[in-house]
Structure 1
Amino acid sequence: MYDDINEELKPWVEMLQSSEVEDRLVAVKTLQHIGDEEAIMPLIQALEDENTSVQKLAIISIWELNNPIAIKPLMICLRSPDEEVRKETLSALKELIAPADLMMLLDAVQEDNFYTQLNVLILLRKIHDAHALPYVVPFFESSREELREAAITTLRYLNQVETCPPALALMNDRAPKVRREATLTLGHLKDESVVELLCQALTQDPDWQVRGRAAQSLALHQDTSSISSLGKALTDEHWQVRKFAARTLQIVADESVIPALIKCLTDEYSDIRRDAAIALGNIGNTDVLNALQQTLDDPDADVRIFSQRAIDKICQQPTAIN
């Protein structure tokens, strides 16, 4: 079949036809080690091997050769029933695909195969092209939560997409994983009700990761209408939600949240004490100096350092000096 192939490769290419799995594994491994571009077609043929170990090794070998000619054959492997084969294929394709492959991916994402759809949605993140949006949005209503999660995640990777009303509904998705990704994606959207939805998630969602991510996304919007919700989140039962709320209040805050931030200076977690001190320093009200002064003997060095910086920042303001 490969009569014109390099003499060094020929015995190993022939061994790929062996009935023994071990022989075929040795052949693929040797071709990988040699690393000759002429081996690409025999290795592509090995993707159809009945043994998944041979397939996986062939995928890795093709990946290392980094030849775009392998993209279409590898796309077929995304349908494999074997999880490891799909995983290796996805990793290889992440390195191989380029913007010129967009149309191929958009065709593939319409195939009636769950694994292909899921993996192509992931691959579209590398290309970042907003032309993929009409192909991504239908998956928001998929019966499979994995596809809804993948689609809403992919949305935030698409360049120049600032509004997407269908995405907002996923903030009420029944699956926490979908709501978590939707919450992060809303940080990058500018639909009219985005900040309101994020505030609702921050204070009402039963999943602490959703609440924490809502605080993170609100930091991107820097909208003063979120201050009240962020202040409430400083008393959240989960420490990471309190931390992200305090961190966002370093960017957007006013004097209404000073009492809640002062209370955070005695939180059991040092990250929250530190972030609250920074936020208070940024607000700049001299009334908080006494509370900050009491944290200068905090057992955590970072808290002491950032509390002193906050005190210095407030004292250096013209109103404080006068």
Structure 2
Amino acid sequence: MNDDLKDWLEMLRSPDVNDRLVAVKTLQHLGDEETTDALIIALKDEHAAVQKIAISALWEIAEPVGIPALIECLNSTDTDVRTEAASALNDLVTQNDLLLLLDKLQSHDLNTQLNILVLLRKIHDIQSLPDILPFLTSKTPELREAAITTLRYINQLEKCPQALDLIFDESALVRRAAALTLGHLQDTQVITILAQALTNDSDWQVRRNAAKSLAIHENQQATSALEIALSDEHWQVRKSAAQALQTIPDIRVIPRLIQALTDEYADVRKEAVIALGNLAHPDVINPLQQALDDPDKEVSIQAQRAIQKIKTDRIVSREQ
């Protein structure tokens, strides 16, 4: 360490917080790899403002040696310090830090655990699965929600029996996350469970997320539940159900989709129009023609496209 850096390091030990702020800001301005050690020392300052500047500086320098020290900031009592450290780590951590993250995940600090579960989403490694699974049964809802969400980002994860029950969790936040995660799993029970959540859950966001996941699965077994959801009390659930039925064409739902063309919300009407167009059945032509006069321009545009798509498909079919 050169003499100038030694002077700034000495100032970091000053009892006057203003001196320490000047020192850490200067080190940040220098932006030199040689300042890393001094900045790591500043992370332990008693004043949050000094810590935040040190975190920002280490973030800019992006030296891997600073990552363990930044992880220690995740258990800070200061919310801003934790947030800044988490943001920095989200940019800096790589596959090489996986074992370090998994080791810190075993800490008993809630904030550290929550932030590391989020950081693991960036790495996507299925090796982290055994360390994530225990959090699915945590007594803390925030940890259960973070864990079930992280599973969504894990590469090559097709089945996870431990995740299925969280669709029935007592916490609506956990159920919402579980409903989305189940869209990425292939367990045989997934369609049945999602359909049950879509029609029975008391939280409209859970029902909406279940519909979104059923759209991903494109499974015909979900048709009945999606048809029921077209009459849901919340318009976003009705919209998501109509979107899902675009991927699962079934002429049995034509009557309900036609009814949806009179929904009070234009977004629902638009998605119903697209779903009817995808069915390409003669019975949908007249309702779609009526939708051309919809007061919402986007609905009428989609109706015109749907009618044209059906006509084009018929011409192609006759030529074949």
TM-score higher than 0.5: yes
Whole-Å separation in 1 of the counterparts to 2:269 and 2:111: 45
Whole-Å separation in 1 of the counterparts to 2:170 and 2:213: 20
Q: Which residue of 2 aligns with 1:111?
A: 107
Q: Which residue of 2 aligns with 1:147?
A: 143
- Would you say 1:317 and 2:298 are equivalent positions? no
> Could you state the TM-score of these two structures normalised by the residue count of structure 2?
0.96
**Count of residues in Structure 1 that have an aligned counterpart in Structure 2:** 318
Q: Which residue of 2 aligns with 1:262?
A: 258
Whole-Å separation in 2 of the counterparts to 1:321 and 1:132: 50
Q: Which residue of 1 aligns with 2:2?
A: 5
Q: Which residue of 2 aligns with 1:73?
A: 69
Whole-Å separation in 2 of the counterparts to 1:317 and 1:54: 66
Task: Tell me which amino acid in the other structure corresponds to 1:288.
Answer: V
Whole-Å separation in 1 of the counterparts to 2:47 and 2:264: 54
Q: Which residue of 2 aligns with 1:45?
A: 41
Task: Tell me which amino acid in the other structure corresponds to 1:188.
Answer: H
Deviation track 1:145-173 (CA, whole Å, cap 9, x = no partner) reads: 01000100111111101000010010110
- Would you say 1:159 and 2:147 are equivalent positions? no
| Superposed counterparts of 1:206-217, under 5 Å | 206-217=202-213
Whole-Å separation in 2 of the counterparts to 1:88 and 1:321: 59
Contact 1:249/1:279 (<8 A) preserved = yes
Helix, strand or coil at the partner of 1:22: helix
Q: Which residue of 1 aligns with 2:19?
A: 23
Q: Which residue of 1 aligns with 2:245?
A: 249
Percent identity, please. Answer: 56
Whole-Å separation in 2 of the counterparts to 1:180 and 1:135: 22
> Could you state the TM-score of these two structures normalised by the residue count of structure 1?
0.95
Runs of 4+ aligned structure 1 residues displaced above 4 Å come to 319-322
- CA positional deviation for 1:14: 2.9
Whole-Å separation in 2 of the counterparts to 1:232 and 1:289: 23
- Would you say 1:297 and 2:290 are equivalent positions? no
Structure 2 unaligned spans of 5+:
none
Task: Tell me which amino acid in the other structure corresponds to 2:57.
Answer: S
| Superposed counterparts of 1:99-138, under 5 Å | 99-138=95-134
Task: Tell me which amino acid in the other structure corresponds to 2:138.
Answer: S
Q: Whose helix proportion is higher, 1 or 2?
A: 2
Whole-Å separation in 1 of the counterparts to 2:3 and 2:194: 61
Task: Tell me which amino acid in the other structure corresponds to 2:222.
Answer: S
For residues 321 and 41 of structure 1, do their structure 2 counterparts lie closer, same or farther at Cα, with a shift above 3 Å needed?
A: closer
Whole-Å separation in 2 of the counterparts to 1:270 and 1:321: 32
Whole-Å separation in 2 of the counterparts to 1:5 and 1:179: 56
Q: Which residue of 1 aligns with 2:225?
A: 229
| Superposed counterparts of 1:183-222, under 5 Å | 183-222=179-218
